[in-house]
Amino acid sequence: MKIVYVLLGLFIIINYGLLQAGVLRRITARVGKRIGVPFYQPYIDLIKNYAIRSQFSHGVMFYLGPVFRLSGGVGIFLFMPLIFGNEIFSNYSMAGDLILIMYFMFIGMLGMALGAGEGGHPYSIIGITRGLSQFTTVEVPFTLAVISIAIQYQTLSITEIVAAQQGGIMHWTLMTNPLATGAAMLSFLGMMMYAPFNVVNAPQENPLGPPTEFHGTFLGMLQTNRVILGVMEAILFMNLFFGGATNWGILFIKAFLIYFYPVFVGAVFPRYRIDQSIRWFLYLPTALGILAIIFI
């Protein structure tokens, strides 16, 4: 029975993510005074990619890489409680806590890295090395923030963290621990890999980075993962810092707003070089994280 609910949740999340992506692209277009794609464009792209007729593979890991990647994304979904107080949409969150989710993100990265690696394109590997390098420091402020809220709530269970934030906006971590929220939200920019931190797959200088060789179904899976992962990371931050959600409506709104924030920043800022962005996360965001631990 659980599986049915999980699949239902997954279905909702994918659809929500696709719509959100379309809307956000449209908003970004409006920032550039364009009309932009139709809001259903992500659906079409996805369908088209799954409908590509011919495919090739560089080898086993190339074939399995997208599977790993998607497993990573879906895994985060599976272990994340979506709606607070709702048994149905708590997924498999009883199997693990925040730490599990943090480390589950790596599975997807590993899959991507292996798949792209076997693809054999040098630009893929350049992208991967950049992504991993940037990721090392992106995680630092986030970790500090997580430690900070773990101290604050004396728990690592996401459900309990959400529970502790119930009762109005003043109970949100955003209000009770603004430093940690600040640190985490800055590292969120890096996680979502929009500008200024999108040198990983910088299309102009380095065609797409890691997924250069992926096409058709493989690409479709990567896109699916991107949709799920983006939404789930937004939901993770919502759960940790913005009071969670008690029903789907709040979830959609909060997730949208959280997701909107890196897109907005990305639409406005130019891109960092990779060594700049590696270092950037060790300055202000890490400082905030340290303060968050000191002043908890």
Smallest separation, CB 98 to other proteins (Å): 7
d(CA 155, CA 4): 29
Token code pair at residue 150: 């773990």
d(CA 140, CA 160): 23
Smallest separation, CB 2 to other proteins (Å): 10
Smallest separation, CB 85 to other proteins (Å): 19
Contact 177, 289 (CB under 8 A): no
Rank residues 211 and 230 by Cβ distance to other proteins and give the closer one.
211
Close Cβ partners of 284 (under 8 Å, ≥ 6 residues apart):
186
d(CA 85, CA 79): 15
Smallest separation, CB 97 to other proteins (Å): 4
d(CA 160, CA 201): 36
Rank residues 151 and 169 by Cβ distance to other proteins and give the closer one.
151
Smallest separation, CB 249 to other proteins (Å): 28
Rank residues 99 and 170 by Cβ distance to other proteins and give the closer one.
99
Contact 49, 224 (CB under 8 A): no
Contact 57, 122 (CB under 8 A): no
Burial 232-268 (b: 16+ CB within 10 A, else e): bbbbbbbbbbbbbbeeeebbbebbbebbbbbbbbbbe
Smallest separation, CB 179 to other proteins (Å): 13
